Structure formats: C-alpha cells, structure tokens
Amino acid sequence: MAKQSRTDGEFQEEIDKYLKGIARRLFDARKNSGLTQTQLGERAGVKQSYIFELEQGTTNITVGTLVKMANVLDLDPRELLPGKPVQALARTDVRDLKSLLDRLSTAIEERIEQEKRRSRKEAEFLTELGILDSLRQLLG
C-alpha cells in the first residue's frame, strides 16, 4: 500500500518542529558556553539578530551556519539537531584524551629506555661473570 502524500501544512508543521528543536539546543549550548548572542554571532560570522531568530525557531539555519556555530560552541554539529542525543566527544574531551595519550607515550618510551639500560647492565654483568668463570677454569 502506497504511503499517502502529506500536505504542505503537514510538512510545515514538521519543519517548525525541527526548527524549535534546533532553537532549544542552540540556546542551551550557547548558555552552557557562557557566550552572548552577540559573541556567538561574531565568532560564527553572523549577526546577533540572526542568532536571536534561530533561538526563537523562527528562521531556517543553513548547514554551513550550523557547522560554524557548532565549531564555536565546541560541539559536533549533530548535537544541535533535535532527536536523540549524540554520543560524540567534545573537542575538549578529544584534546584531553590526546594529552593523556601523549603523556602515556612518553612514559612508555622512558620505560623502554630504562629496560634497555637495565638489559645492557645485565649483559655487562653476565659478560663479567663469563670472564670470571673462564679465569676460574684456567686457574682451577
């Protein structure tokens, strides 16, 4: 059975629902970041009045603007879309993770160098023992 076509009014209702969802998420993200509408607008390259309209859900947002704002807000752009929350790492989380991995890598490299030095000392010690054993056999 074919799906019944929707009317323009039904599409507009769905569009309005998405715009309101984006508006809420944008507002919450901006507030959480501590930015004003003016600051977000300046950093994203749009006017404060456009931010106001977006947060009211009264105007469309372009994908480009959504991505710019997400960048400014340190979010994955999908986090500004309505629906299920996105389980994305924030850029700060990624930076923290990179820093942790850098420290871990440094610690591993230092440990490897310690083991190499220890191995060289053991080899020198075993060599000395071998020489001593040889001397004992000769003197024996």
Asked, for residue 2, whether it belongs to a domain, the answer is: no
Q: How far is CA 80 from CA 34, 36, 71, 97, in A?
A: 16, 17, 11, 23
Side-chain half-sphere CA neighbours of 16 within 13 A? 6
Whether pTM > 0.85 for this model: the answer is no
CB 74, CB 90: distance < 8 Å:
yes
- Same domain? For 36 and 21 the reply is yes
Q: How far is CA 100 from CA 43, 96, 121, in A?
A: 29, 6, 32
Query: The CATH number of the domain where 17 resides is what?
Result: 1.10.260.40
- Same domain? For 81 and 109 the reply is no
CB 69, CB 26: distance < 8 Å:
yes
Asked, for residue 3, whether it belongs to a domain, the answer is: no
- Same domain? For 82 and 138 the reply is no
**How many distinct structural domains can be found in the chain?**
2
Query: Which single residue is written with the structure tokens 């024996």?
Result: 140
Q: Which residues contact 56 (CB under 8 A, 6 or more apart)?
A: 23
Which range of residues forms the domain containing residue 96?
Answer: 89-140
- Same domain? For 83 and 105 the reply is no
Write out the chain's pLDDT in tens, 140 residues.
556 677 877 888 888 999 999 999 999 999 999 999 999 999 999 999 999 999 999 999 999 999 999 999 998 898 899 887 666 556 677 788 888 999 999 999 999 999 999 888 888 887 887 877 787 787 76
Asked, for residue 139, whether it belongs to a domain, the answer is: yes
